[in-house]
């Protein structure tokens, strides 16, 4: 039979739902994006956002055709917003798009309230004035603003948002939540029923390692003559490994003590024998004043979590996923089931507390069972990012400071331009444009002349950032003439490969912001196309 060609729309998002789940897809499907940019848009339309709105007052020119895949020669002279809109909506019929032939400046000044209805606003290659205006308006109404620059071989992304909450960080390789130090009722019962000595060798070799760990802990406590002792040091954990080794038995046939479950048990000791504590980031979230007052879903559950912990010996809800481990079917599934059921009942309790909080704050039942359950499963890895308002003046100072701390010799400096230096050069270009009305390396002005002019702006920016009397020359040394010349050589060209690269990253960051999953860039990302290296700054 030939491969099926039947069209099932639910399969369109299959390959990404495997990453962020149906709940993530639903969040994306409810996201509306306002763009002063298009390259980011293709990845968002494909991902299935609800709607997008393009703001662009330009008409399509010949130069656009080379750098924008979504424009055709026939489009020259048309409104760029409309022409792009047409091509983009083709990509995914379930996404609705609209366009405005308004100037970004007009939008920022006249139609500010319009911006409040978007989930996120994106601007590419706007002036510092427009960026600043948008950032300020959006910061105060709590709408994320993503500010993108694509200039020659350099690309930057600045994510501007007052507060971003992350319910599921998708941390890779999180420490398992096994509760070896604080077993819950059903788990303790299973441990109590387990008797390694009375097992056949075959049963012993199919005992899931978590039970071996508990039994080793019993012996450890006997040895220490302390019924509550728990391995606290590397040596203690080595001790546990020795105890585990003593549990091994050899079978008559093989004559060896080799056994996969014991090998797993040994390897897992270092990560499993950790006290069930709460990380500093979660601790600070739960002690944040937002817990006490906010009516945002994230904070409502956080307050419920805080109350849950108070009546639960300071423990968070159980994650409830048992790591895979060699075992017979019966005992693994028995354990997996008690873990799962305990997680459900913990989440149920958190939900009850959430209802309490909702009632106190006069909001309806906002949090669903599902949302609460998923939140609890990831409760030990929740995060909050907070940022200051975008302020080019303050940030340039920080960049200059950063360059001041670079300690590289002449050869290194010439061989590779540091990301912070590119950042400063981008600011210098902004200043150049503001003062001369054009970008360096354009209008047929020789690069050598513009390079001198650009260097002057670099000097001014450094001087403005330093305190009176500080010597700018050591910092200026890091901004090599060849880096300045490179900036002029770009001639404000927007290379499609760089826009596409930066646009792809920005699209994913927007999905992170919309789904409250994964951890967004905090807060400035710089990409250098020469080396394909990147850096992240918190400005």
Site for another protein in 202-231 (CB under 8 A): 206
When binding is defined by CB under 8 A, the residue of 17, 26, 363, 460 that contacts another protein is: 17
Q: Which residue has the tokens 């427009």?
A: 130
Residue 24 lies near another protein (rule: CB under 8 A): no
The stretch among 226-234, 268-276, 299-307, 330-338 that binds another protein (CB under 8 A) is: 330-338
Residue 342 lies near another protein (rule: CB under 8 A): no
Q: Which is nearer to another protein, 357 or 510 (CB)?
A: 510
Locate 469 and state its tokens: 């009397």
Residue 175 lies near another protein (rule: CB under 8 A): no
Residue 250 lies near another protein (rule: CB under 8 A): no
When binding is defined by CB under 8 A, the residue of 120, 216, 336, 379 that contacts another protein is: 336
3-class DSSP state for residue 30?
Answer: coil
Residue 441 lies near another protein (rule: CB under 8 A): no
Q: Which is nearer to another protein, 220 or 527 (CB)?
A: 527
The stretch among 90-98, 238-246, 279-287, 439-447 that binds another protein (CB under 8 A) is: 90-98
Query: In this structure, how many other beta carbons lie within 10 angstroms of the beta carbon of residue 272?
Result: 20
Q: Which is nearer to another protein, 14 or 252 (CB)?
A: 14
Contact 317, 379 (CB under 8 A): yes
Q: Which is nearer to another protein, 46 or 476 (CB)?
A: 46
Residue 1 lies near another protein (rule: CB under 8 A): yes
Residue 194 lies near another protein (rule: CB under 8 A): no
When binding is defined by CB under 8 A, the residue of 228, 235, 407, 532 that contacts another protein is: 532
Site for another protein in 493-522 (CB under 8 A): 495, 497-498, 500-501, 503-505, 507-509, 511, 518-522
Backbone φ and ψ of 355, nearest 5°: -60, -40
The stretch among 49-57, 76-84, 95-103, 320-328 that binds another protein (CB under 8 A) is: 320-328
The stretch among 56-64, 96-104, 298-306, 528-536 that binds another protein (CB under 8 A) is: 528-536
**Smallest Cα–Cα separation from 475: which of 537, 408, 393, 538?**
408
Locate 74 and state its tokens: 């026939």
Q: Which is nearer to another protein, 42 or 213 (CB)?
A: 42
DSSP letters for 33-80:
EEEE-SHHHHHHHHHT-SEEEEE--PBP-HHHHHH-TT--GGGTTSBH
The stretch among 286-294, 356-364, 397-405, 527-535 that binds another protein (CB under 8 A) is: 527-535
In angstroms, the Cα distances linking 29 to 12, 50, 473 are: 13, 5, 52
Q: How many residues bind another protein (CB under 8 A)?
A: 73
Residue 253 lies near another protein (rule: CB under 8 A): no
Can you tell me the distance from the alpha carbon of 367 to that of 376, in angstroms, rounded to the nearest whole number? 12
DSSP letters for 393-452:
HHHHHHHHHHHHH----HHHHHH---HHHHHHHHHHHHHHHHHHSS-TT-TT--HHHHHH
In angstroms, the Cα distances linking 462 to 399, 421, 457, 470, 476 are: 9, 11, 9, 10, 8
Residue 73 lies near another protein (rule: CB under 8 A): yes
Q: Which is nearer to another protein, 206 or 431 (CB)?
A: 206
Can you tell me the distance from the alpha carbon of 206 to that of 250, in angstroms, rounded to the nearest whole number? 14
Can you tell me the distance from the alpha carbon of 415 to that of 403, in angstroms, rounded to the nearest whole number? 16
Q: Which is nearer to another protein, 307 or 383 (CB)?
A: 383
Q: How far is the CB of 268 from another protein (least distance, A)?
A: 16
Residue 144 lies near another protein (rule: CB under 8 A): no
Can you tell me the distance from the alpha carbon of 156 to that of 489, in angstroms, rounded to the nearest whole number? 18
When binding is defined by CB under 8 A, the residue of 77, 93, 185, 362 that contacts another protein is: 93
Residue 411 lies near another protein (rule: CB under 8 A): no
Residue 153 lies near another protein (rule: CB under 8 A): yes
Residue 97: left if φ>0, alpha if ψ -120 to 50, beta else—which one? Answer: beta
When binding is defined by CB under 8 A, the residue of 38, 43, 288, 515 that contacts another protein is: 43
Q: How far is CA 194 from the centre of its chain?
A: 42
Q: Which is nearer to another protein, 41 or 475 (CB)?
A: 41
Can you tell me the distance from the alpha carbon of 113 to that of 141, in angstroms, rounded to the nearest whole number? 9
When binding is defined by CB under 8 A, the residue of 62, 77, 113, 172 that contacts another protein is: 172
Q: How far is the CB of 280 from another protein (least distance, A)?
A: 17
Residue 42 lies near another protein (rule: CB under 8 A): yes
Locate 374 and state its tokens: 């998923």
Can you tell me the distance from the alpha carbon of 522 to that of 513, in angstroms, rounded to the nearest whole number? 12
Q: How far is the CB of 178 from another protein (least distance, A)?
A: 16
Q: Which residue has the tokens 């002792």?
A: 229
Residue 92 lies near another protein (rule: CB under 8 A): yes
Helices (H), 228-328: 234-247, 260-272, 280-286, 289-293, 297-310
């Amino acid at each position: 039979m030939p491969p099926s060609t039947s069209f099932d729309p639910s399969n369109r998002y299959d390959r990404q739902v495997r990453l962020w789940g149906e709940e993530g897809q639903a969040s994306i499907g409810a996201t509306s994006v306002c763009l002063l940019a298009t390259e980011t848009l293709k990845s968002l339309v494909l991902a299935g956002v609800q709607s997008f709105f393009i703001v662009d007052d330009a008409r399509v020119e010949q130069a656009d055709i080379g750098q924008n895949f979504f424009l055709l020669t026939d489009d020259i002279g048309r409104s760029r917003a409309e022409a792009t809109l047409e091509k983009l909506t083709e990509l995914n019929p379930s996404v609705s798009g609209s366009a405005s032939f308004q100037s970004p400046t007009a939008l920022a000044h006249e139609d500010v309230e319009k911006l409040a209805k978007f989930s996120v606003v994106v601007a590419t290659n706007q002036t510092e004035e427009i960026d600043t205006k948008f950032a300020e308006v959006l910061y105060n109404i709590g709408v994320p603003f993503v500010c993108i620059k694509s200039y020659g071989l350099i690309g930057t992304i600045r994510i501007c948002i007052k507060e971003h909450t992350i319910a599921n960080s998708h941390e890779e390789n999180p420490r398992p939540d096994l509760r070896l130090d604080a077993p819950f009722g059903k788990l303790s019962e299973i441990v109590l029923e387990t008797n390694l000595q009375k097992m056949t060798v075959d049963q012993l070799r199919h005992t899931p390692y978590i039970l071996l760990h508990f039994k080793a802990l019993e012996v450890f406590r006997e040895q220490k003559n302390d019924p509550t002792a728990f391995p606290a040091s590397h040596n203690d954990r080595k001790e546990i490994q020795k105890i585990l080794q003593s549990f091994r038995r050899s079978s008559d046939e093989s004559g060896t003590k080799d056994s996969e479950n014991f090998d797993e048990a040994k390897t897992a000791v270092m990560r499993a024998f950790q006290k069930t504590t709460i990380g500093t980031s979660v601790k600070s979230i739960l002690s944040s004043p937002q817990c006490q007052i906010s009516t945002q879903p994230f904070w409502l559950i956080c307050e419920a979590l805080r109350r849950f912990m108070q009546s639960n010996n300071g423990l968070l809800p159980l994650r409830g996923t048992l790591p895979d481990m060699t075992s017979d079917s019966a005992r693994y599934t028995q354990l997996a089931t008690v873990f799962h059921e305990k997680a459900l009942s913990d989440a149920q309790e958190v939900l009850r507390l959430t209802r309490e909080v909702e009632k106190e704050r006069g909001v309806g039942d906002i949090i669903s069972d599902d949302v609460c359950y998923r939140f609890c499963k990831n409760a030990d890895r929740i995060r909050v990012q907070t940022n200051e308002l975008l302020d080019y003046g303050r940030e340039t100072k920080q960049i200059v400071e950063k360059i001041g701390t670079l300690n590289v010799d002449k050869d290194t400096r010439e061989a590779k331009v540091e990301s912070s230096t590119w950042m400063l050069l981008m600011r210098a270009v902004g200043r150049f444009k503001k003062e001369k009305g054009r970008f360096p390396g354009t209008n047929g002005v020789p690069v050598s002349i513009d390079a001198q002019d650009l260097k002057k702006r670099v000097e001014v920016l450094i001087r403005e950032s330093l305190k009176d009397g500080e010597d700018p020359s050591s910092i200026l040394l890091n901004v090599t003439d060849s880096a300045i010349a490179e900036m002029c050589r770009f001639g404000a060209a927007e290379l499609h490969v760089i826009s596409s690269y930066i646009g792809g990253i920005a699209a994913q960051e927007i999905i992170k912001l919309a789904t409250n999953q994964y951890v967004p860039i905090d807060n400035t990302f710089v990409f250098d196309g020469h080396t394909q290296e990147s850096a992240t700054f918190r400005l």
